[in-house]
Amino acid sequence: MTTPLVLPPGIEDALLTPPRPMPRVEHVEPFLRAAAQVLEQELGMPVQRGKLALASGSCTTQDITAIVGITGRLMGLALYGMSNATALAIVSRMMGAPVDEMDDLALSGIGELGNVITGRATTLLAEMGLEADIAPPVLLSGAGSRVSTAGIQRLVVPLDTAIGVVEAQLAIKST
């Protein structure tokens, strides 16, 4: 006589749920390279990549997050999150003058930063034969906003600068 295996409901559900697609390394690298290049160019300082991790949960963790949609041979989202202090310091560098309030102009600057990074990444992808387009950026203000990545796993890489950390997140898959 065999005893049936009994699993707690959470574990049983996890075993029955198919794995979510994960971005491929060769697709992630152009985004990280573009982010480092653009940040170094805009800020005039080196950028250090932190350790790659998988995002847990579906909510933003940073005060300000720029989200850029990606379509074409790759589909998904690129997210760039940072603290208010980091966002203000970045926009101050970009504007060449102190910015001490997260107003529409400052938010626009962070949106444009996300747009430029993702645009440069799609150029690098095109050089690899992967055509992709980007959508205008969307900005979220406040941590805890829920973001759906349509079942695609999000990879997270902190990009450390002398003025703060920009958290790059990528949820893309091949179409």
Domain that holds residue 81: 22-144+152-174
* Per-residue pLDDT tens digits for 83-97: 999 999 999 999 999
- The CATH number for 112's domain is 3.40.1550.10
Q: Is residue 71 part of a domain?
A: yes
* Per-residue pLDDT tens digits for 122-162: 999 999 998 999 999 999 998 888 888 877 888 999 999 99
The answer to whether 27 and 152 have CB atoms below 8 angstroms apart is: no
Beta strand 48-49 with 132-134 is unpaired
Residue 26 phi, psi dihedral angles, 5° rounding:
-65, -20
Q: How far is CA 120 from CA 10, 123, 159, in A?
A: 41, 5, 17
Q: Is residue 86 part of a domain?
A: yes
Q: Is residue 15 part of a domain?
A: no
Mean pLDDT of 52-73: 90
pTM of the model: 0.84
For residues 13 and 79, the model is more confident at 79
Q: How far is CA 30 from CA 63, 90, 132, in A?
A: 25, 22, 12
- Residue type at position 98: P
The answer to whether 87 and 63 have CB atoms below 8 angstroms apart is: yes
Q: How far is CA 139 from CA 23, 51, 104, in A?
A: 23, 25, 10
Give the SS3 label for residue 124. helix
- Which of 76, 153, 81 lies closest to 121, judged by CA? 76
Q: Is residue 6 part of a domain?
A: no
pLDDT of residue 9: 58
- Which of 103, 138, 116, 135 lies closest to 37, judged by CA? 116
Q: Is residue 11 part of a domain?
A: no
What are the helix (H) ranges across the chain?
Answer: 9-16, 25-43, 84-95, 104-127
- Split into its structural domains, the chain has a count of 1
pLDDT of residue 18: 45
Distance CA 41, CA 2 (A): 66
The pLDDT-based confidence of 59 (bands split at 50, 70, 90) is: confident
